[in-house]
Amino acid sequence: MKTYCGLAFLTVATMGLSNSAVGYLNYPTQVIFKCCKLIPVMIGGMIIQGKRYGMIDVTACLCMTFGLIFFTLADVEVQPNFDTHGVVLISLALVADAVIGNVQEKTMKAHSATNTEVVLYSYSVGFVYILVGLLLSGELLEPIRFCAQYPGHTYGLAAALSVTGFVGINFVLTLVKSFGALLAVTVTTCRKAVTIILSFIFFTKPFTMQYVWSALLVTAGILLSTYSKNQVKMDAWIQHYVVHPLFTRQGRSIGKTEFV
């Protein structure tokens, strides 16, 4: 239960810090920091779980991070602004987010905890934290009045967001349990790039070459990550289908030259 209380605190902290940072940072700056989420998650895995990452993993992480930053910023005309308060707040949110993923992975693997168990205890305790905070700050009555004034919009949207949020967090926890926190964060971070790609299908918008080389960086990162996790099999495949036929052809060419 102590672990779930800690996860709940970190979940509330990352949401609160991220929302507070919005008041200090514009959209491009938030994008830069959110795309950098892979780096603290990787560092957290090394500290919390004792994982070791090779140079290929680090390079893949950096390629995906910078590729996503440039890909997303290609969609924005406003320049980023780095307000000190906002940077501190969103940095703390990223640290909390990195700890959450790694602690979830460690807990689920060590105690065979199910997705439903993690969601139930983490979010129930988190609800208590938020409720106590609202009571102490005296800010509970205002949202209650607002919901009473617009019940159809507020309660209806809250129900829809709760259902979709539950489905989403279950997918994320399945990824965390099956493949680890780093891959789960990679998938959730890349969804922004997928959103932009889909926007080209549904809306008319200008296309620049920044999208192309940014996408190539992300693709390179994904390929490197895949290679790192399947290095033995892929090395054997490359040796059999690429290196061996290449040297065979060269040997034949040399033989024909000598014969002539």
Residue 254, pLDDT score: 53
Burial code (b: 16+ CB inside 10 Å, e: under 16) for 203-231 equals: eeeeeeeebeebbebbeebbebbebbeee
- pTM for this structure? 0.69
226 Cβ contact partners less than 8 Å away, ≥ 6 residues apart: 234
pLDDT digits (tens, 9 = 90+) for 81-119: 667 888 888 888 888 888 888 888 888 877 787 888 888
Report, as an integer, the average pLDDT of 135-160.
85
* Percent of the chain whose predicted confidence (pLDDT) is above 90: 0
Residue 254, amino acid: I
Report, as an integer, the average pLDDT of 114-141.
86
Residue 202, Cα to own-chain centre: how many angstroms?
Answer: 24
* Contact assessment for residue 67 and residue 216, using Cβ atoms and an 8 Å cutoff: yes
Mean pLDDT rounded to a whole number for the chain? 78
* Contact assessment for residue 10 and residue 181, using Cβ atoms and an 8 Å cutoff: no
On the question of pLDDT at 259 being above 60, the answer is: no
Choose from 84-88, 145-149, 179-183 the range with maximum mean pLDDT: 145-149
Weakest mean pLDDT among 125-129, 173-177, 204-208: 204-208
